[in-house]
Structure 1
Amino acid sequence: MDKNYLERAAREIDRAGAILIAAGAGMGVDSGLPDFRGDKGFWKAYPQLKDEGVSFMDLANPEWFLSDPERAWGFYGHRFMLYQSAKPHEGFQILQKWGSRKLVKPFVFTSNVDGHFQKAGFDPGSVYECHGSINYLQCANNCSRAIWSFPKLTFEIGADLRAKGKLPTCPKCGFVARPNILMFGDWSWNKVRSDQQEIAFRAWKRQAMNHRLVAIEIGAGKNIPTVRMSAESMNCTLIRINLRDADKGRRVIPISGKALDVLERLEQLFI
């Protein structure tokens, strides 16, 4: 972890009038969440699927809710329980502290579907979950544009990672429901909630551009570069925190390391 980069980053954060937090899966690792990086990472989290040769890309597909909903809900139900039981790490509070000092309240752009920014106390109106949220459901048959909250599981999950019991259903048509998450090959994802968040993000950007803006990108991968591209598009100083891919670039301050470790190191520079 380069001390010069840390000091530069701390200066930029201190001088900023507005902060964008752009977070990928690496943000949740310090909370005990898997990042599913490659098939090996996925199978480490779900060893029962290794022998079947089922990858994350295979299983994160809406077709399972139509052809084998017990298998689909076994996987997504387990993820839901994992995200619900995990506690957001202290790095979330550090980011909140920095944001509270600014002229414009911070905004979060994230590909994470765990809802941990809201759980950590961030304003839900200042979070754009570009891939949706596991805490909300939609009809798997896409019978309407309805989206509803998902407070708890109504079924159990067996050792074979299959759901056993009453699966969530659509209140309008009675068909099986699915998480309101963008999956692979997903033409039926209901974007209504995400589109509303995007409108809020655009309004925030118009306000933030009138101030000295800094983007803090944390744990965003390259395979699906949505978060990285959004952070880079802000045309401002970008602090890139990444354990493996802290690449340099125009106006980029690269810091190699895990999210919590780097955020704590930066916070110490303000004490």
Structure 2
Amino acid sequence: MGAKRPLIAVLTGAGISTDSGIPDYRGPKGLWQRDPKAQELVTIGPYLADPEVRRRSWLMRRDVGALGAEPNAGHLALVALERSGLPVRVLTQNVDGLHQRSGLPERKVLELHGTAQRVQCVRCRVRGPMARALERVAAGEPDPVCEECGGVLKPCTVMFGEALDPVVLDQAEAIAKACDLFVAVGTLLQVHPVAALPQLALEAGARLVIVNGEPTPYDPVAHEVIREPISLALPALVRRIIAGEFAGDSGEG
């Protein structure tokens, strides 16, 4: 593990939020399985080109109810890990903001795919709260436009067909290379470039633990694979980490 101060990196995907009532995309009961056409609702090309896709997309955001979701035991376990004094960084593919709502400091959460808590105009780039846009949908605007310039509104998320913010990706890669323990939770590790982060950690000498209900490409090289439900498995894993089973001596976060 080396003499450097141990660092724990936790990559979270949709699976950590399903117990909060937010459906995942690719799992056996995920959104894509129930409605294969739903992927176009979060794909930038169709979204910009077709008003009907945008109308369906706004209804999906309304029905998913992510703004009203509450953190679950998995999120709270990571708060306990951070408050133990161990240095922790959470890299999340989720856009629901539940890590911050659960009590993790903003500076320790890196949102790889942006946030669904806010919207942005694709023309003038002005931003505003998602709650305000959904209020307009509820009031009868099926495809609310920018109140400043009339442009198309989209969530401040990275849609399919869009590139990740290079600054955010660079930060995530630096954390993966510097960590001693890399924990992947609730993600199938199939979407690049984020799916490359565990490999960077392994190449730098970190241990890899995977907590996921379905197999991932990294299972054969992981030091441990945990198949139990995340809300049960993650609190137990955190207790082991705090006890020193993986990360060794603690340092300041």
TM over 0.5: yes
Q: How does 1:66-77 map to 2 (within 5 A)?
A: 66-68=49-51, 69-77=54-62
1:40 positional shift: 6.0
TM-score, structure 2 normalization: 0.75
Residue aligned with 1:28, SS: helix
Whether the aligned pair in 2 keeps the contact of 1:240 and 1:253 (CA below 8 Å) is yes
Query: Which amino acid in structure 2 is aligned with residue 110 of structure 1?
Result: T
User: Aligned pair in 2 of structure 1 residues 90, 168: CA closer, same or farther (>3 Å)?
Assistant: same
Residue aligned with 1:155, SS: helix
Query: Which amino acid in structure 2 is aligned with residue 215 of structure 1?
Result: F
- Superposed CA offset, 1:218-247 (max 9, x none): 011144254442133123111111111154
- Superposed CA offset, 1:92-147 (max 9, x none): 1211212233453x2111111111111111122222222221112122xx324444
Q: How does 1:69-108 map to 2 (within 5 A)?
A: 69-79=54-64, 82-104=65-87, 106-108=88-90
Q: Which residue of the other structure, out of 24, 27, 43, is the alignment partner of 1:35?
A: 24
- What corresponds to 1:262 in structure 2? 233
TM-score, structure 1 normalization: 0.71
Residue aligned with 1:164, SS: coil
1:77 positional shift: 3.1
What is the alpha-carbon distance in structure 1 between the residues aligned to residue 196 and residue 67 of structure 2? 29
- What corresponds to 1:137 in structure 2? 119
Q: Which residue of the other structure, out of 153, 160, 165, is the alignment partner of 1:177?
A: 153
User: Aligned pair in 2 of structure 1 residues 265, 131: CA closer, same or farther (>3 Å)?
Assistant: same
- Superposed CA offset, 1:29-72 (max 9, x none): 12222112268632776xxxx5xxx5222322233344223223
Whether the aligned pair in 2 keeps the contact of 1:23 and 1:110 (CA below 8 Å) is yes
What is the alpha-carbon distance in structure 2 between the residues aligned to residue 176 and residue 248 of structure 1? 41
What is the alpha-carbon distance in structure 2 between the residues aligned to residue 195 and residue 43 of structure 1? 27
Q: Which residue of the other structure, out of 135, 141, 155, is the alignment partner of 2:136?
A: 155
Whether the aligned pair in 2 keeps the contact of 1:138 and 1:179 (CA below 8 Å) is yes
What is the alpha-carbon distance in structure 2 between the residues aligned to residue 233 and residue 32 of structure 1? 32
- Superposed CA offset, 1:187-231 (max 9, x none): xx7x6xx4554465467x39x93xx62111101114425444213
Unaligned runs of 5+ in 1: 1-11, 158-162
Whether the aligned pair in 2 keeps the contact of 1:39 and 1:55 (CA below 8 Å) is no
Unaligned runs of 5+ in 2: 244-253
- What corresponds to 2:197 in structure 1? 230
1:170 positional shift: 2.5
What is the alpha-carbon distance in structure 1 between the residues aligned to residue 195 and residue 150 of structure 2? 39
Q: Which residue of the other structure, out of 222, 240, 257, is the alignment partner of 2:210?
A: 240
What is the alpha-carbon distance in structure 2 between the residues aligned to residue 179 and residue 66 of structure 1? 16
What is the alpha-carbon distance in structure 1 between the residues aligned to residue 11 and residue 225 of structure 2? 14
User: Aligned pair in 2 of structure 1 residues 218, 226: CA closer, same or farther (>3 Å)?
Assistant: farther
Percent identity over the alignment is 24
RMSD: 3.2
Query: Which amino acid in structure 2 is aligned with residue 74 of structure 1?
Result: L
- What corresponds to 1:109 in structure 2? 91
